[in-house]
Chains A and B, each alone.
Chain A
Amino acid sequence: MRMFVAVALFACAPAQACPGLQVEDAWIREAPPGAMMTAAYARLRNAGSRLLSIDGALGPDFAAAELHRTVVENGISRMVHGEPLQLEPGATSALAPGGWHLMLIRPARALKAGDRVSLALKCGREASEFIFVVKAPSE
């Protein structure tokens, strides 16, 4: 049984990193107490030589982490999901408030400004782990 669990966990863990994926200014919005949702943002860069298709994230501190994009159309704010962020070789892109973001669902613990949180960005079957810093933005 123990053996089976170990194998199952191993099978879930992505074997390889997203080739060439670099992250800067990775941060998570400090959420109000009890909030079920928050979001993670970062600047992404593809320093590799093949197209990266970012489609989500994994992290031990959240029930789930999904890649979403906020769009405002006709004055209505809505969420687009299920659409990967395509990063060409050499390209940069930003996860930023009001646009692309990682929606972090049901934090397992209260995250306070200054906390460091590990999140793995997924690109298909691969994933790269980065440290995100919790911040309370002033605006």
Chain B
Amino acid sequence: MKQPQVVGAVLAAGLALAAGIWAASYWYAPKAVTLQSGVLLGAPRAIAEFTLADQDGQAFSNDRLRGRWSLVFAGFTHCPDVCPTTLALMKVLTQRLGASAPAMIFLSVDPERDTPPVMQSYVRYFGPAITGVSGEREMLDRFCASLGIAYVKVPGASEADYTIDHSAALVLIDPQGRVAGYFPPPLKVDTLAADLSRIAGPST
């Protein structure tokens, strides 16, 4: 009767192991986050080294994107409709999410007109949570390429009156300073707040 007992013990051990593995995979697997308003990249994408400047003229480089989640919106201050609408939405999102709100970054793709003093009065209007960033064209283009942001200058009635077509999505940056996902338009504050609190909210 010894053999069946051994077989039984081995079987039981095997079953317990399988159950353990199943339970572990069930309990410890990262929960798949399904977003209502955006997409998360399967693997976050690194951002090439860059140095731009914030609205106070301070250097803004990769390290300013580390340590917390960030949302980047690209636009320009001469934009009458989409940019102020989106910045006002970023302000409301910040108020809604409180301490777990991501850092909000307004990236100007119009550094010729959007000098730090112009950016300073522009972003301050939308509250202290928004950082205005721009800089030299080469760096700006490198940063935009990393973020998957496209823009193109469109001539206007006069040389000074050009406008800019630009990506309208919000880019999500993870606390490691990598591109983690995108929120394409139309941007709605309720779904964005729900998604962001799921992704970037306090871990439980």
Contact = CB atoms under 8 A, between A and B. Distances in A.
Contact of A78 (B88, B121, B154): B154
Nearest to A104: B80
B82 A138 contact: no
A76 B84 CA distance: 16
Nearest to B186: A98
Contacts of A91: none
B92 A138 contact: yes
A137 to B, nearest CB: 6
A74 B159 CA distance: 27
B125 to A, nearest CB: 3
A26 interface: no
B79 interface: yes
Interface stretch (A9-17, A36-44, A119-127): A36-44
A119 B112 CA distance: 31
The size bracket of the interface on B is 20 to 34
Given A72-B168, A72-B185, A75-B169, A39 B118 contact: no
A36 to B, nearest CB: 6
B168 A34 contact: no
Interface residues of A, number: 27
A100 B168 CA distance: 16
Contacts of B126: 32
A98 B92 contact: no
Interface string B155-186: 00000010101111100000000000000111
Contact of B81 (A32, A101, A139): A101
B185 A35 contact: no
Given A37-B78, A77-B168, A97-B85, 18 more contacts: A31-B84, A32-B126, A34-B121, A35-B77, A75-B168, A76-B150, A76-B166, A76-B168, A77-B166, A78-B165, A79-B81, A97-B81, A97-B82, A98-B186, A138-B92, A139-B88, A139-B91, A139-B92
Interface of A: 29, 31-39, 68, 70, 72, 75-79, 97-98, 101, 103-105, 137-139
